[in-house]
Amino acid sequence: MILTDVHRGVLSRKNRKRVGRGAGSGHGRTATRGEKGASSRSGHSYRFAFEGGQMPLMRRIAKRGFNNNFFRNRVAVLNVSTLDAYFENGETVDLEVLVANGLLKGRFNALKILGNGPLTKKLIVKAHQFSESAARKIAAAGGSADRI
């Protein structure tokens, strides 16, 4: 084997297939289109998403329906450690104050306080829901957990 002969005749670009140029080309007469049918005729093209007569996917799947996502209750969740970091002793914390301070972004129907982390400050917290540990920690710090 001669190493210089390995790539001889191998071209970096392959010539395009020239169909309909006589029987000697191997792609003459029907020009790779087959014998009869719509696909053999000039000007034929398949419509977008045509699946050979099978019911197309776009017609098989449902177009509309009911989704409860529009009616869901959006609950903002906050830990007592966050309240401890952002508020001073004796302050009142509610949904409007949290939004004004930038702690909550978006639209919410309810606010829930969770008991993750320490709470050392006396806070008056007004929320829709409290976890048991959060209510305990707020009370232990001398504050009050008021349900709205």
HSE value, Cβ hemisphere, 13 Å, CA-based, for 147: 6
From first to last of its 148 residues, the chain has per-residue pLDDT tens of 788 888 887 777 888 889 999 999 889 999 989 999 888 999 989 888 889 889 999 899 888 888 888 899 999 999 999 999 999 999 999 989 999 999 999 888 999 999 999 999 999 999 999 999 999 999 999 999 999 8
What is the pairing mode between strands 124-127 and 92-93?
Answer: parallel
CB 141 within 8 A of CB 124: no
**Domain boundaries of the chain, sorted by first residue:** 73-147
The stretches of the chain forming alpha helices (DSSP H) are 57-60, 80-86, 95-100, 132-140
Q: Can you tell me the distance from the alpha carbon of 48 to that of 104, in angstroms, rounded to the nearest whole number?
A: 46
Token digits of residue 80: 């007592």
Picking from 108, 106, 107, 148, the residue whose alpha carbon sits closest to that of residue 124 is 148
What is the pairing mode between strands 124-127 and 144-147?
Answer: parallel
Token digits of residue 116: 């993750």
* All residues at 6 or more sequence positions from 51 whose CB lies less than 8 Å from its CB, including other chains: 57
Which CATH architecture fits 73-147? Ribosomal Protein L15; Chain: K; domain 2 (3.100)
SS3 state of residue 75: strand
CB 25 within 8 A of CB 37: no
